[in-house]
Amino acid sequence: MVASVLCAGIIGCNKSSGPTEAPVIPDQTNGRVTIINDEAKLAARVTINDEPVPIDTAMYKASGAAAFSLKLAATISPPVVGGQTLQATSVVLDGNFAYASYNMQGSTYIGAIDIIQVKGAKNATLRSEATFTDTDVSSLCYANGKMYLAEATGNTAFAAPAVVEAITISGGKMDLAKNFRRALSSYAATAVSAAGGKVFVTTGNTGGLYTLTQNDTLSVEKFDALDDARWVDNDGTYVVVAQGTPGRFSVFQQSTMAFLKTVSFSGATIPESKSTVRLIGGKALVAAGDGGVQLVDVASGTVVGSIPRTVVRGLDSSVTVTNAVDAADKYVYISNGEGGVYVALASVNLSNITGTSPITFKMLGKLQFANLQSVNHVSYDGSLLAVAAGLGGVKFVTVSF
């Protein structure tokens, strides 16, 4: 483990109102991490769009497909570090705040995270930015005044590249006080989730699931070896880890972290690919890569619904895999890489379903953004959709019914 020294901060975390007050926290750096809390310096990265988002329904010819409307509220352009433009890798909505992560394609370790306050269709403020000179950030979550980051580092002081980092948050601003990194195994930490005083981190193809304590040194309580561990989520009852090659997820009892079972699903056969899992209504909503979307009852292991991966004419199938999915009520938003964001309507409200009765999905259409790059992640809270759009940055879309 390596602690940072201060010289001059779904799919996964507990929902909360987020930070509300705004104490004066200056811009900071420790040489590795640079934090900008001056909103005037960050304003140039924010564009208030306030414009309709077209929904392409032609491919589905579905009646009633446009029974809702979408408006692009705002766009946050990606940070530039050392002349290199980063790509948005994940975004999490939490109350009136959104948290976004970024990395650099290829072997260069450069990353960043943002805190964005979103209020309504015409109000998005970039509150705080942190950039990293030796670290990719794959995903993140917020819990109890801390941001937890799943990372890969190029710092050879660590035995392996995979690390998890904690940054203190106060009033929507990051602070390097008590900044800490915990060394993990494998080539990259892929996802992080936090609840009940614990932090859960997955660490890729040769790692597994770490259960850490939410303290200043992220003490390791338990490690479960799980190959190709890609994503983690919790719902108060279960902790579920999505794995690939082949597709399956491992289920743990959250209160004790006792292993319960492994459940297989179709897809997730592409090595080193992203596959998120979102627990909703006792079901695991899985982005299964080449297997599209799978909805599985966690208690029984029964697949109760699925959405095939979309094939996009003119694009190689390797760049249109389903890498992330989120849902609220009946609406499901699906991230298909360079294929864009797709919308589906479930036959029942996914938030309060029980049992193993089959659930059907009706594809409504595809969201169309100008110059949208590869979509890496989506987060939806029932009225606002956030899209981590790679080199296109982070986009906020309001949803009206």
What number of other Cβ atoms are within 10 A of residue 298's Cβ? 21
> Is the pLDDT score of 22 beyond 90?
no
**Rounded distance between C-alpha atoms, residue 208 and residue 116, angstroms:** 31
Tokens of 188: 């990259």
Q: Are 178 and 216 in contact (CB under 8 A)?
A: yes
Of all helices (H) and strands (E), which one includes residue 320? none
Residue with tokens 């004419």, as numbered in its chain: 313
Q: pLDDT by residue (tens digit) across 277-322?
A: 999 999 999 999 999 999 999 999 999 999 998 777 677 776 778 9
The domains found in the chain, sorted by start residue, are 10-400 (2.130.10.10)
Residue with tokens 């619904």, as numbered in its chain: 305
Nearest C-alpha neighbor of 319 from the set 329, 327, 311: 311
In this predicted model, which residue has the larger pLDDT, 68 or 113? 113
Measure the CA dihedral 53/18/100/249, to 10°: -100
Q: Can you give the pLDDT at residue 154?
A: 96
> Is the pLDDT score of 3 beyond 60?
no
For the sheet with 55-56, list strands across it.
55-56, 361-367, 341-346, 331-335, 324-328
pTM over 0.75: yes
> Is the pLDDT score of 13 beyond 90?
no
The torsion angles phi and psi of 263, rounded to 5 degrees, stand at -120, 130
> Is the pLDDT score of 21 beyond 80?
no
Mean of the per-residue pLDDT values of the chain: 90
Q: Can you give the pLDDT at residue 392?
A: 93
Tokens of 49: 């769009």
pLDDT tier, 374 (very low <50, low <70, confident <90, very high otherwise): confident
Q: pLDDT by residue (tens digit) across 179-232?
A: 999 999 999 999 999 999 999 999 998 999 999 999 999 999 999 999 999 999
Q: pLDDT by residue (tens digit) across 148-181?
A: 999 999 999 999 999 999 999 999 999 999 999 9
How far from the centroid of its chain's Cα atoms is residue 133's Cα? Answer: 21
Q: Are 69 and 54 in contact (CB under 8 A)?
A: no
Average pLDDT over residues 30-59: 92
For the sheet with 220-225, list strands across it.
191-195, 198-202, 208-213, 220-225
Using the Cα atoms of residue 21, residue 92, residue 64 and residue 121 in order, give the sign of their dihedral: positive
Q: pLDDT by residue (tens digit) across 89-105?
A: 999 999 999 999 999 98
**Rounded distance between C-alpha atoms, residue 128 and residue 35, angstroms:** 7
Average pLDDT over residues 60-87: 82
High-pLDDT (> 90) share of the chain, %: 77
What number of other Cβ atoms are within 10 A of residue 205's Cβ? 18
Q: Can you give the pLDDT at residue 17?
A: 47
pLDDT tier, 339 (very low <50, low <70, confident <90, very high otherwise): confident
> Is the pLDDT score of 117 beyond 70?
yes
How far from the centroid of its chain's Cα atoms is residue 333's Cα? Answer: 13
Q: Can you give the pLDDT at residue 142?
A: 97
Q: Are 91 and 388 in contact (CB under 8 A)?
A: yes
